Amino acid sequence: MLETALYRYFHYTKFRPGQKEAVTVLLQGQDFMAVLPTGSGKSLCYQLPAYLKDGVVLIVTPLISLMEDQLASLQKNGEKRGVVLNGNLKEEDKIYVLNHLNKYKFVFLSPEMLMQEKVLSRLQSHHIALFVVDEAHCISQWGIDFRPEYRNLKYAKQRLNNPVTLALTATATAKVKEEIKSALLDKDAVEFCDSVDRPNVSLSVLFTRAKLEELKRLLSAATGSVLIYCATRKKVEELYYQLKKDYIVGYYHGGLDSSQRRLLQQQFIQDHLQFLVCTSAFGMGVDKPDIRMVIHYDLPDSLENYMQEIGRSGRDQKDSDAVLLYQLQDEKIHYFMQQQAQQERELFEFQIRHQAVKNLTELQEKWLQQTKIFGKDAFLEKLEQNELEKKKKLEQMLEYIYYKGCRREFLLSYFGENLTKVPNRCCDYHGLAKISVGLKEKEFHFSPKKDAWQEILLKMFKEEK
């Protein structure tokens, strides 16, 4: 019985949602996709079958810091046969690992590392018990233009003699799930999708021309940890200098080196910093249960990213708030970046069509590699298609901003779900607040005090009865 194995290896007596399904299906030799919230035991989905099967388990992970965290967590549980394979290792250490693969049970690596010929050819001669892709939504999010190696995973899988594959992620729209399937999984793959709904997180968009004051007001009323997302690094730092006069605050973005990042993440998790100003670089793999509020000081570029970011609040199931501060034209920064990206692509396209490739950017070099795999036309077509989809995603983000109905319903429908649970709180305010319990709505004057929300909600529940 699987429960016996569960107890034997992990000392748990019960599976959590999705885990048993994953283990059963993987042991039968079928591919599996699990959409489960962070902190719900995703890693057990591959760790348990790993112990019940012969061979090494490959875990493809997007960030080096994630590999290290996962390895540390294995080691904490007494597992010594884990190893990371990444660019921080010395050349001789990498070679050692590749030549002694049978000493290891868990190998964590990036898609870039996996796609290197020397790595692939060494792995090829071993029996791969399980091929795991963690944060599998990266296939869709980054997989074409930014980190194209994510779209080569199927090729890698074939080279490894089609091992049983597990895709793991916390949020995915129907479309993203389809992309993961077609780019990675067999046709008969089984999926288990938990709801992405968080009834304890209120959703609001605040139209304002005085963001800084609104932000300070929200922070002054805040009772716990708060994440503040900005669109650019510069804005993150500016805001940090504005806030540090009055609050204990830190900042985090992709320009920081890895040791600084790790330090800040630790300080935030351990409550040495109540507030953290950051770009979208912050968050993956962060499992802090008591983030009480996620504020968007700038507009995110898609509802996928928005959902990921607000999904970091209220993991402890206690009441939390997601507040988006919007000002007319906030989307312009994203238009600009999309336009930059388009120029880079068009230049690349021109050069490759005229066979005059020189002075390529780092990204363009990668694209050149991809044209060799998928063919020139096919890959260029993909790049262009991807660009159009990004534009569409930004438009849908704006639709959400201007949506007049229940925001939770809108967001859920984007992820292919219906509003089924009665939310603890679901509010909105454009000067006035709109609160909804189930499908019933009521307007009232906004007050930042938590008690005000609760009183009104209580009253509405009574009225419903």
Q: Provide the binding-site residues for DNA, judged by CB under 7 A.
A: 62-65, 85-88, 109-110, 112-113, 116, 141-142, 145-147, 231-234, 238, 253-255, 279-281, 301, 327, 329, 332-333, 335-338, 340-341, 362-363, 366
CB of 49 to DNA, least distance (A): 25
CB of 397 to DNA, least distance (A): 12
Q: CB-wise, 64 or 190, nearer to DNA?
A: 64
Closest to 402 in 3D by CA, of 337, 338, 332, 328: 328
Q: CB-wise, 116 or 200, nearer to DNA?
A: 116
In 291-375, which ranges are continuous DSSP H helix? Answer: 303-310, 332-353, 362-374
Q: CB-wise, 30 or 327, nearer to DNA?
A: 327
CB of 342 to DNA, least distance (A): 10
Q: 335-350 burial by CB neighbour count: b if 16+ within 10 A, else e? A: eeeeeebeebbeebee
CB of 279 to DNA, least distance (A): 3
**Hey, how many other C-beta atoms are within 10 angstroms of the C-beta on 461?**
13
Q: CB-wise, 78 or 87, nearer to DNA?
A: 87
* C-alpha dihedral sign at 258, 259, 262, 265: negative
Q: CB-wise, 68 or 321, nearer to DNA?
A: 68
Q: CB-wise, 223 or 343, nearer to DNA?
A: 343
Q: CB-wise, 87 or 431, nearer to DNA?
A: 87
Q: CB-wise, 57 or 231, nearer to DNA?
A: 231
- Which pairing describes strands 291-296 and 320-326: parallel, antiparallel, or unpaired? parallel
CB of 250 to DNA, least distance (A): 14
> What token pair was written down for 401?
């901003």
CB–CB of 26/55 below 8 Å?
A: no
CB–CB of 141/106 below 8 Å?
A: no
CB of 124 to DNA, least distance (A): 17
CB of 418 to DNA, least distance (A): 29
Radius of gyration of the chain (CA): 23
CB of 212 to DNA, least distance (A): 9
DSSP type of residue 79: -
CA dihedral 208, 209, 213, 215 (to 10 degrees): 50
Give 3-state DSSP helix, strand, coil % of the chain, rounded to 5.
45, 15, 35
CA dihedral 405, 326, 249, 241 (to 10 degrees): -170
Q: Which contiguous run of DSSP H or E holds residue 193?
A: strand 190-193
